Structure 1
Amino acid sequence: MKELNVKKVSAAGLSVEAVPALLDKEKIVFQPIDTVNWAAYPYCPAVQFRIAYTDDSLLLHYKVSEASVRAVAGHDNGPVWEDACVEFFSIPAGDGVYYNVECNCAGTLLVAAGGGREGRVHAPQEVLDRVQRWSSLGRASFEERVGECAWEVALVIPFTTFFAHDIRSLEGKSIRANFYKCGDCLQTPHFLSWNPIELPSPNFHCPQFFGSLKFE
């Protein structure tokens, strides 16, 4: 199981556009999302992420280079996984309830909570509205663009995003989590993970295969 130490940073009044520069300054290194778990989907675009946290938020920065991009999901809690999509799944309270925070390449989000793949509860829009998003491709939706494309997204995810819990701090805690890259409706579908998944077919809703984040 992979483990990652998550550094605490000071980010009072930080805008989401400034997240990459702050993480550069804090020397937060990128981690690859490069595990190909299923031989039927061998394509492995270049994907990396880095993560830090503040008194009240998670800071996430993804960098991707892939053969095509797509951002058709035009509203939050739509099918962003069909687009060029990066995902963060975690169990912030350690009680078996995990959250999926999925973001397409235009910064459109899906956030849901539950104990398994079925019966998940979507975050209310007012919760989603508090998540700051920045995309190097802009925020407008678009049809698939074929051709090598590099893109980045940054997110400021307040702890209130974990809407089924009352998370006040993550300092000193260890939580189970995994990071993913997918694109179910891209010309070359793929399903990459940070921590490996030992299942017969693509499925990211598998907390038994989450890695560990240790918050300093």
Structure 2
Amino acid sequence: MKIKNMKTLDVSFSDELDPDKDLLKKLAEQLPTHKLDCVSWVDFPYKPNVTFNIAYSEEAIFVRFDVQESVLRINNYESNQPVYEDSCVEFFISFSDQHYYNLEFNAIGIGLVGYGTNDKTQRQRLSSERIHQIKTFSNISKNGRGEDVKWSLMIYIPIELFKEESVSSLKGRKAMANFYKCGDMLPEPHYISWSPIQADEPNFHLPEYFGQVNFNF
């Protein structure tokens, strides 16, 4: 069942999108800011402060997350390890009715990426070689005693990564997507999203609750 009053997001085209840290940082400052503010499970009430920016070009999708949370956890350092147990941000996107990509990154940009349906037994992890096509740039601010940790992650995702869907251009295209922040093994586990989810237990792999993303000209 699709969620009522589905959220929508307009994504701006940029011809200045380049996998360069300084250029991406400058671009992010010019983009609209969106907030992750949906806590869908009452048993996990902690809600860190998380925002994101997004843009796209002929070659890539760019997402920047900014996070403020009480504890930082980074215990995974190789591709496709369980980064969702760390301080983690995620971007899921679907270009078809049944299949979608899950892109998950911890605070230093280590990625876990999969493709398939929401039947987790049938999903496939992308190879480390393909994941390394994604460029990530992390910044972690030191916090004083008793202060929250602030960190940001910029993610440059080449469109060629989506080869299972034969995506050649995003201009004028619509997709379904959601954005998340989690931390399964943190002292306060949490599961927040951009588009709300209706499920008994935390589960991000529910594409029926994705919002609509419009890649504008």
Q: TM-score, normalised on structure 1?
A: 0.91
Q: How far apart in 1 are the matches of 2:47 and 2:17?
A: 37
Q: How many residues align?
A: 207
**83-92 or 160-169, which deviates more:** 160-169
Residues 138-185 of structure 1: per-residue CA shift (max 9 Å, x gap)? 9xxxxxx98510000001000122242321111101101000000000
Assess if the C-alpha contact under 8 Å between 2:99 and 2:115 holds in 1.
yes
Alignment partner of 1:67 is 2:63: no
Tell me by how many angstroms 1:129 deviates: 1.2
Equivalent residue number for residue 103 of structure 2: 101
Counterparts of 1:77-92 in structure 2 under 5 Å? 77-92=80-95
- Secondary structure of the structure 2 residue equivalent to 1:208: helix
1:173 aligns with 2:173: yes
**Residue 197 (str. 1) matches residue 202 (str. 2):** no
Question: Which residues of 2 match residues 46-61 of structure 1 at below 5 A?
Answer: 46-61=49-64
Which residue number in structure 2 is paired with residue 30 of structure 1?
A: 33
| Cα drift, residue 124 of structure 1 | 1.3
Once the two structures are TM-superposed, the CA of residue 98 in structure 1 deviates from its matched residue by: 0.5
How many Å apart are 1:54 and its aligned residue? 0.6
Q: TM-score scaled by structure 2?
A: 0.91
Mapped pair 1:120 → 2:123: yes
- Which secondary structure state, in structure 1, belongs to the residue aligned with residue 67 of structure 2? strand
**CA 90–32 in structure 1, closer or farther in 2 if over 3 Å, else same:** same
Shift of 1:12: 5.8
Q: Which runs of 5+ in 2 are unaligned?
A: 1-5
Deviating above 6 A after TM superposition, structure 1's stretches of 4 or more consecutive aligned residues are: none
Shift of 1:17: 4.2
2:40 is matched by which residue type in structure 1? N
Q: Distance in 1 between matches of 2:97 and 2:206?
A: 15
Question: Equivalent residue of 2:26, what SS?
Answer: helix
Match of 2:3 in 1: none
- Structure 1: give runs of 5+ residues left out of the alignment: 139-144
C-alpha separation between the residues in 2 aligned to 1:65 and 1:13? 26
CA distance in 2, matches of 1:55, 1:190: 35
Secondary structure, counterpart of 2:114 in structure 1: strand
Within a 5 Å distance, the mapping from 1:177-188 to structure 2 comes to: 177-188=177-188
Give the structure 2 partner of residue 142 of structure 1: none
Identity among equivalent pairs (%): 35
- CA 1:15–1:43: 2 relative to 1, 3 Å: same
Can you list the C-alpha shifts for 1:29-65, whole angstroms capped at 9, x where unaligned? 1100110100000000100111000101000100000
C-alpha distance in structure 2 between counterparts of 1:54 and 1:155, whole Å: 13
In structure 1, the residue matched to 2:25 is 20
Q: Secondary structure at the match of 1:130?
A: coil
Secondary structure (helix, strand or coil) at the match of 1:113 reads strand
